[in-house]
Homo-oligomer: A and B are copies of this chain.
Amino acid sequence: MKDLSGFIARAKECNTGLEELPTLTPFVVEGKEVGKLKPKFVEHVKRFPEVFVVEGQGASGRVSLAPSLDSCDKRSAAVAGVLAQLRAEGVITGWRDELYPVVPSYYDEPLLLVERAAATHLGIKAYGIHVNGFVRDPATGAVRLWVARRSLTKPNWPGKLDHIVAGGQPHGLSPRENVEKECGEEAGIPPALAATARPVGAVSYLTISATGYKPDVLFCYDIELPPDFTPTPQDGEVQEFKLLPLEEVANIVATTTEFKTNCCLVIIDFLIRHGYITPEQPGYLQLVSLLRSGDCS
């Protein structure tokens, strides 16, 4: 793989819509910006002035919470009520019953907790864990990567290729606990094996989509699996697992949009860290930069 333009194109697909940035209104809690809302969603929350206080619109405007909501619990409860109403109206779809913390950056205490399905509408930072599950040929050292095909019934990205294990980072679990939990739930990786997953860094990106603002950070992991281990779909989210030569995975990433878009960043990071993409290939440094183009905090 001498030409990196396909990888650069995939990385750029994770960072689109930025021309809309000036139209987005900051979401501010306790004086700290924690998200951004599209004009349409500002109109929705404006209908609930006892919870959301809207002042102006766009980059110079501000959406905040009523001052009486002075604790994480009170804020979470009040916002949950609004989100439930917007769900009932069909504005928010893909409800998960999973709470995301709303934070200025990852290690801050959550200012409130919100349903995951509302994350992009509110433009809050969302964190995830992505695991590269690989097998190394003991004789040649050649690497093969386990790839999942997402179920056709999944609400988002149905039928797309995915990591062996990946998931959103919910409130109340550490990234490692989440990795080990998802290893079991998504691929039937037993606890002792899951415990060998190794954190290897993070990638970040920023997309403004039809739904909203997505400043996402993914914690990346590598897990080397024994050649005789076969992952098995556990929870109906994965249709099948396939073990593909790394060159074939690289080729799929570079020449197609078969993979769920953000998986491409994590695979490109793997290809760079494992030396399959090299500094001699023009675009190498651009690619290294593109892997962390979002606010990685």
B219 and A106 within 8 A (CB): no
Residues of A in contact, count (CB < 8 Å): 31
- State which of B105, B200, B288, B292 has its C-beta within 8 Å of the C-beta of A275: B200
- Verify A217–B296 contact, CB threshold 8 A: no
Which residues in chain A, 105-128, are within 8 Å of chain B measured between CB atoms? Answer: 105-107
Contact A280 B202 (CB under 8 A): no
Q: A202-B284, A285-B297, A297-B285 are in contact. Are A219 and B176 (CB under 8 A)?
A: no
A174: interface (CB < 8 Å): yes
Q: Cβ of A233: which chain B residues have Cβ within 8 Å of it?
A: none
Smallest CB separation, A222 vs chain B (Å): 8
A277 to B277, CA, bound (A): 24
B297 touches A292 (CB 8 A): no
- Give 1 or 0 for each of A268-297: 1 = CB within 8 Å of chain B CB: 000011110111101111101100100011
> A160 at interface (Cβ–Cβ under 8 A)?
no
Hey, which chain B residues are within 8 Å of A181, CB to CB? none
Q: Which residues of B contact A176 (CB under 8 A)?
A: 278-280
Q: How far is the CB of A64 from chain B (nearest CB, A)?
A: 25
B175 touches A285 (CB 8 A): no
A201 at the interface (CB under 8 A from B): yes
Q: Evaluate contact between A219 and B292: CB separation under 8 angstroms.
A: no
Once the chains are docked, how many angstroms separate the CA of A279 from the CA of B217?
12
Q: Are A199 and B279 in contact (CB under 8 A)?
A: yes
26 contacts between A and B (CB under 8 A): A106-B284, A106-B285, A107-B284, A107-B285, A174-B280, A175-B279, A175-B280, A176-B278, A198-B274, A198-B275, A199-B272, A199-B275, A199-B278, A200-B274, A201-B273, A201-B288, A202-B279, A202-B288, A217-B285, A219-B279, A273-B273, A286-B297, A288-B292, A288-B296, A289-B292, A289-B296
Q: Which residues of A contact B (CB under 8 A)?
A: 105-107, 174-176, 198-202, 217, 219, 272-275, 277-280, 282-286, 288-289, 292, 296-297
Q: A199-B272, A199-B277, A289-B296 are in contact. List 4 more A-B contacts (CB 8 A).
A: A175-B278, A175-B279, A199-B278, A202-B284
